[in-house]
Amino acid sequence: MEAERTLGAEELTELGELAAQLRVDAIRCSTKAGSGHPTSSLSAADLLAVLISRHLRYQWTDPHCRANDHLIFSKGHASPLLYAVFKAAGAITDQELIETYRQFGSRLQGHPTPVLPWVDVATGSLGQGLPVGVGIALAGRHLDHLPFHVWALCGDSEMAEGSIWEALDKAGHYGLRNLTAIVDINRFGQRGPTELEWDLDTYRRRVEAFGCQALVVDGHDLVAIDEAFGRARQATGPTVVLARTVKGKGVPEVENQPGWHGKPLKPELAERAVAALGGVRQIRVATPRPEPVPAAAAPTGEPPTMPRYDKGAMVATRNAYGDALRALGSRPDVVALDGEVSDSTRADKFAEAYPDRFFEMFISEQQLVAAAVGLQVRGYRPFAATFAAFLSRAYDFIRMAGISQADIALSGSHSGVEIGADGPSQMGLEDLAALRAVQGSTVLYPSDAVSCAALVAQMVDRKGVNYLRTTRGKYPVLYDNEDAFPVGGSKLLRGGDDDDITLIGAGVTVHNCLAAADELAREGIKARVIDLYSVKPLDRDRLLDAVRATGGRLLVVEDHYPEGGLGSAVLESLADIPEPVRVTHLAVRGLPSSGTPTQLMEQAGIGVRAIVAAARAAEAPGR
Amino acid sequence: MEAERTLGAEELTELGELAAQLRVDAIRCSTKAGSGHPTSSLSAADLLAVLISRHLRYQWTDPHCRANDHLIFSKGHASPLLYAVFKAAGAITDQELIETYRQFGSRLQGHPTPVLPWVDVATGSLGQGLPVGVGIALAGRHLDHLPFHVWALCGDSEMAEGSIWEALDKAGHYGLRNLTAIVDINRFGQRGPTELEWDLDTYRRRVEAFGCQALVVDGHDLVAIDEAFGRARQATGPTVVLARTVKGKGVPEVENQPGWHGKPLKPELAERAVAALGGVRQIRVATPRPEPVPAAAAPTGEPPTMPRYDKGAMVATRNAYGDALRALGSRPDVVALDGEVSDSTRADKFAEAYPDRFFEMFISEQQLVAAAVGLQVRGYRPFAATFAAFLSRAYDFIRMAGISQADIALSGSHSGVEIGADGPSQMGLEDLAALRAVQGSTVLYPSDAVSCAALVAQMVDRKGVNYLRTTRGKYPVLYDNEDAFPVGGSKLLRGGDDDDITLIGAGVTVHNCLAAADELAREGIKARVIDLYSVKPLDRDRLLDAVRATGGRLLVVEDHYPEGGLGSAVLESLADIPEPVRVTHLAVRGLPSSGTPTQLMEQAGIGVRAIVAAARAAEAPGR
- Check if the interface score ipTM surpasses 0.85: yes
Residues of B in contact with A436 (CB under 8 A): 433, 563-564
Distances (CA, A) of B418 to A428, B475, B606, B609: 31, 11, 10, 15
Which residues does chain A have within 8 Å of residue B595's beta carbon, measured at their own beta carbons? 103-105
One-letter amino acid of A420: G
Nearest chain B Cα distance for residue A439, angstroms: 7
Is A164's CB within 8 Å of B161's CB? no
Task: Specify the DSSP class assigned to residue B327.
Answer: H
The 10 Å CB-count burial string (b at 16+, else e) for A237-269 is: ebbbbbbbbbbbbbbeebbbeeebbbebbeeee
Inter-chain contact B594–A343, Cβ cutoff 8 Å? no
- What type of residue is A464? G
The shortest CB-CB distance from B433 to any of A426, A437, A578 is to A437
Between B362, B536, B564, which is nearest A436 by CB?
B564
Residue of A572, A583, A599 to mutate, interface with B, max B Cβ within 10 Å: A572
Q: Contact A599/B115, CB-based, under 8 Å?
A: no
Q: Given an 8 Å threshold on Cβ–Cβ distance, is A340 in contact with B157?
A: yes
DSSP helix/strand/coil, B560? coil
Nearest C-alpha in B relative to A34: B421
Whether B424 sits inside 8 A of A439 (CB atoms) is: yes
Which of B163, B211, B436 has its CB closest to that of A564?
B436
Dihedrals phi, psi of B504, to nearest 5 degrees: -120, 125
Contact residues, chain B, for A571 at CB < 8 Å = 568, 571-572, 575
| Alpha-carbon distances, residue A564 vs A443, B445, B568, B586 (angstroms) | 12, 17, 7, 16
A-chain residues near B469 (CB < 8 A): none
- What spatial distance separates the first Cα and last Cα of chain B, rounded to whole Å? 83
> What residues of A are labeled active site?
365
Residues 6 or more apart in contact with residue B411 via CB below 8 angstroms: B318, B321, B345, B347, B383, B384, B385, B467, B468, B470
Which residue in B109, B160, B348 is closest to A594 by CB distance?
B109
Instruction: Give me the residue from A123, A163, A393 closest to B425, CB to CB.
Output: A123
- Which burial class, exposed, middle or buried, applies to B191 when counting CB atoms under 10 A from its CB (0-12, 13-18, 19+)? buried
Q: According to DSSP H, which parts of B393-430 are helical?
A: 395-403
- Taking contacts as CB-CB distances below 8 angstroms, the residues of chain A near B166 are 160-162
Could you give the percent of chain B with pLDDT greater than 90? 97
pLDDT of B5 over the 60 cut: no
Are B35 and A580 in contact (CB < 8 Å)? no
Contact list in A for residue B569 (CB cut-off 8 A) is 563
B427 chain-A contacts, CB cut-off 8 A: none
Please state the rounded mean pLDDT for residues B465-489.
98
- At residue A153, φ and ψ (nearest 5 deg) are -85, 120
CB within 8 Å: B340 and A157: yes
Residue type, B193: P
Calpha distance B116→B403 (Å, rounded): 13
B211: chain A residues, CB-CB within 8 Å: 202
If you measure CA to CA, which chain A residue comes closest to B194? A362
Are residues B110 and A35, on separate chains, in Cβ contact within 8 Å? no
Block mean pLDDT (10 aa), chain A, length 623: 68 98 98 97 98 98 97 98 98 98 97 98 98 98 97 98 98 98 97 97 98 98 98 98 98 95 97 98 97 84 91 98 98 97 98 98 98 98 98 98 98 98 97 98 98 98 98 98 98 96 98 98 97 98 97 97 98 95 97 97 98 93 54
Contacts of B584 in chain A (CB under 8 A): 575-576
Facing residues of A154 across strands? A183
Q: Give residue-wise pLDDT tens across range B400-454.
A: 999 999 999 999 999 999 999 999 999 999 999 999 999 999 999 999 999 999 9
Residue of A nearest to B572 (CA): A568
pLDDT of residue B622: 53
Half-sphere exposure of A159 (CA within 13 A, CB side): 32
pLDDT in tens, B63-109: 999 999 999 999 999 999 999 999 999 999 999 999 999 999 999 99
Note if the bond before B537 is cis, omega within 30 degrees.
yes
- Chosen for mutation from A417, A591, A594 (greatest number of chain B CBs closer than 10 Å) is A594
Q: How far is A159 from chain B (nearest CA, A)?
A: 8
Q: A194 and B362: CB-CB below 8 Å?
A: yes
> Per the CB < 8 Å rule, is B576 touching A582?
yes
- Among partner residues B104, B122, B395, which is closest to A392 by beta-carbon distance? B395
Through-space distance between the first and last CA atoms of chain A, rounded to whole angstroms: 83
**Res B621: pLDDT:** 58
pLDDT in tens, A259-290: 999 999 999 999 999 999 999 999 999 999 99
Beta carbons within 8 Å of A60's beta carbon, 6+ residues apart: A86, A89, A90, A91, A118, A287
Q: Which residues of B touch A113 (CB under 8 A)?
A: 423-425, 593
Give the C-alpha separation, B113 to B116, whole Å. 6
Report whether B430 contacts B297 (CB < 8 A): no
Catalytic choice (B158, B227, B365, B619):
B365
CB-CB under 8 Å, A165 with B165: yes
The shortest C-alpha distance from A344 to chain B (Å) reads 9
Q: Helix crossing, A597-604 with A508-522: angle to 10°?
A: 70
pTM, entire model: 0.98
* Of residues A33, A189, A389, nearest to B421 (C-beta): A33
Tens digits of per-residue pLDDT, B40-71?
999 999 999 999 999 999 999 999 999 999 99
Mutate to test the interface with A, among B73, B99, B103, B363 (most CBs of A within 10 A): B363
Spatial CB neighbours of B389, under 8 Å, sequence gap ≥ 6: A125, A396, A399, B412, B414, B425, B426, B427, B428, B429, B431
Residue A458: how many other CB atoms lie within 10 Å:
16
Q: How many inter-chain contacts (A to B, CB under 8 Å) are there?
A: 349
Mutate to test the interface with A, among B425, B432, B502 (most CBs of A within 10 A): B425
DSSP string, A435-500: HHTSTT-EEE--SSHHHHHHHHHHHTT--SEEEEE--SS-EE--S-TT----TT--EEEE--SS-S
Tell which residue, B527, B539, B494, has the closest CA to residue B611: B527
Q: What's the pLDDT score for residue B3?
A: 44
Mutate to test the interface with A, among B113, B116, B157, B161 (most CBs of A within 10 A): B161
Residue A369 neighbours by CB under 8 Å, 6+ apart: A384, A391, A394, A397, A398, A401, A408, A410
Q: Do A191 and B429 touch (CB under 8 A)?
A: no
**Which residues from chain A sit within 8 angstroms of residue B113, using beta carbons?**
423-425, 593
Nearest to A340 among B191, B560, B583 (CB): B191
What count of other Cβ atoms lies within 10 Å of the Cβ of residue A394? 29
Decide if A109 and B593 are in contact by the 8 Å CB cutoff.
yes
Return d(Cα B217, Cα B225) in angstroms, integer.
6
A115·B593 Cβ contact <8 A? yes
Contacts with A391 (C-beta within 8 Å, 6 or more apart), sequence order: A365, A369, A398, A410, A412, A428, A431, A434, A435, A467
Q: How confident is the model at residue B519 (pLDDT cuts 50, 70, 90)?
A: very high
Q: B28 — alpha (psi -120 to 50), left (phi > 0) or beta?
A: alpha
Torsion angle in degrees (nearest 10) through CA of B37, B39, B40, B42: 120
Contact B594 A209 (CB under 8 A): no
> What secondary structure letter does DSSP report for A428?
B
Q: Residue A536 and residue B105: Cβ atoms within 8 Å?
A: no
Determine the Cα–Cα distance for residues A98 and A109; give it in Å rounded to an integer: 12
Q: Omega of the bond prior to A537 within 30 degrees of 0, cis? A: yes
Pseudo-torsion of CA B354, B356, B360, B366, nearest 10°?
Answer: -100
In this predicted structure, what is the pLDDT of residue B1? 40
Diameter of chain B measured on Cα atoms: 93
Please tell me the distance in Å from B293's CA to the nearest CA on chain A: 33
Closest approach of A10 to chain B, Cα-based (Å): 39
Q: Cβ of A12: how many Cβ atoms within 10 Å?
A: 13
Please state, in angstroms and rounded to a whole number, the distance separating the CA atoms of residues B67 and B58.
8
